Amino acid sequence: MRRLASENRFAGIPDAIRDRYTGDDPEVLAERAAARAAEMRVRRTTIEGQLADIGRDQRLVVVEIAALVRDVLANLDSAHRHSKLPGTLGGWGNEHFLRIRFARPSGDEDLHARIDAVVDRIVTEKSKPEGLALLKRCVHEAVAPRGFTVKVLKPNSDLAVEPVDVTHLGKFSGGEKLTVCVALYCTLARLRAVNRGRGRDALGGTLVLDNPLGTASHVALLRLQRDVAAAHGVQLVYTTGVEDLGAVGQFPNVLRMRNAPGSLRTRRYVVLEERFGSAVEGITSARVSSDEPTNGVAS
C-alpha cells in the first residue's frame, strides 16, 4: 500500500491524503484499512455526483449556446438574402451585393459536439471569456474547418458584376469603400426591419454621411450610392464643405449652410444660406417615432 501510494500517477493527490498511506507503519495501515476504504468509497461517490452535476450544467450551457449559434447563422443567411438588389440597377439587378458562404453542422448532435469541445478547451485553458467572445468561438467552431467566405460586389461605373473577397476592401478607392458601406447599411437596415416584424417593404431610415465627398466624389459612384439607397428605402444626407460642383450637382436638393452668431457670444447656430437643385419643394414633412415605450406610452 505504501509503495502504491508513492507512485507518480498519484502525485496530484493532496499531501494530506497521500501521507495517510505513505507515512503510517504497516500495522497502522492494516488496522485502519477497512475504515479508510469506506472513506474512499464515500469520497468516490461524492466526486462522481459532483462530476455528474458538472456534466449536466455543461450540457445546459451547450444547449443554450447552440441556440445562439443557430440564431447567428440564420442572421448571416438573412443578410445574404436581403442584400439582393432590385432589378432596376442595370448589371447589378437581382444580384446579391453581400455573399456569405459557410457549411452548417450536419445536425443538432454535430453542433452540440462542436460546442462541447469548445467548452472543454476553455475549461482546460482555465480562461473566462466574456459572453460575446465565447459565442464568436463557438460560431467559428460550428462552421469549421472551412469557415466563412464573404464577398461583396466591387463598385464600378459600368455596374459589372465583380464579387471580391472582403479582405481586399483595403485596396478599394475612397468612393468604392463608401459605396460598399452604403450598400451594407441598406442591407442591415432591411434585415433589422424584417427581424422587428416590419416586413421587406419597411423604409430603412436616414443615413447621414460626414463629409464623404472629401475622398469620394466620383460621379458614377455617387449615383450608384443613391440608387442603391433609394431601392432600399434609405434616405442619404451628405454633409460636406467640398466645392465640387460636379459631385454636388448630382443631388436634387442642396442646402448651403452657414454659421450665425447667437444671442450669447459663446453660441453659434447653423442656418440656411441658400437652396438649389431640382427638388425645389425640399422637405415637406418630418415625423419622429419610437419603438420603445416612454413612460408607459408608445409613440
**Interval 120-138: pLDDT, tens:** 999 999 999 999 999 999 9
Residue 281 is predicted with a pLDDT of 58
Q: Is the pLDDT of residue 237 over 70?
A: yes
Residue 262 is predicted with a pLDDT of 77
Residue 297 is predicted with a pLDDT of 45
**Does any domain span residue 24?**
yes
**Does any domain span residue 186?**
no
Which set of grid coordinates corresponds to residue 40? 474512499
**Does any domain span residue 120?**
no
**Does any domain span residue 165?**
no
User: What is the mean pLDDT of the segment spanning 159-180?
Assistant: 92
Q: Is the pLDDT of residue 71 over 90?
A: yes
Q: Considering Cα of 225, then 231, then 237, then 243, what sign does the dihedral take?
A: positive
**Does any domain span residue 167?**
no
Residue 16 lies in domain: 2-54
Which of 1-15, 100-114, 225-239 has the weakest average pLDDT? 1-15
User: What is the mean pLDDT of the segment spanning 161-178?
Assistant: 92
**Does any domain span residue 47?**
yes
User: What is the mean pLDDT of the segment spanning 162-181?
Assistant: 92
User: What is the mean pLDDT of the segment spanning 201-219?
Assistant: 80
**Does any domain span residue 287?**
no
CB 221 within 8 A of CB 178: yes
Say which residue, 47 or 86, is predicted with more confidence.
47
Cell 459600368 belongs to which residue? 158
Which set of grid coordinates corresponds to residue 68? 445562439
Q: 0.85 cut: is pTM over it?
A: no
Residue 109's alpha-carbon distances to 55, 113, 115, 144, 146, in angstroms, are: 16, 6, 10, 15, 19
Residue 298 is predicted with a pLDDT of 43
Residue 280 is predicted with a pLDDT of 54
Which of 41-55, 200-214, 224-238 has the weakest average pLDDT? 200-214
% of the chain exceeding 90 in pLDDT: 36
User: How many domains does one find in the chain?
Assistant: 1
Q: Using CA atoms, how far apart are residues 197 and 175, in angstroms rounded to an integer?
A: 33
**Does any domain span residue 73?**
no
CB 206 within 8 A of CB 234: yes
Say which residue, 53 or 246, is predicted with more confidence.
53
pLDDT digits over 19-39, tens only? 777 777 777 777 877 888 888
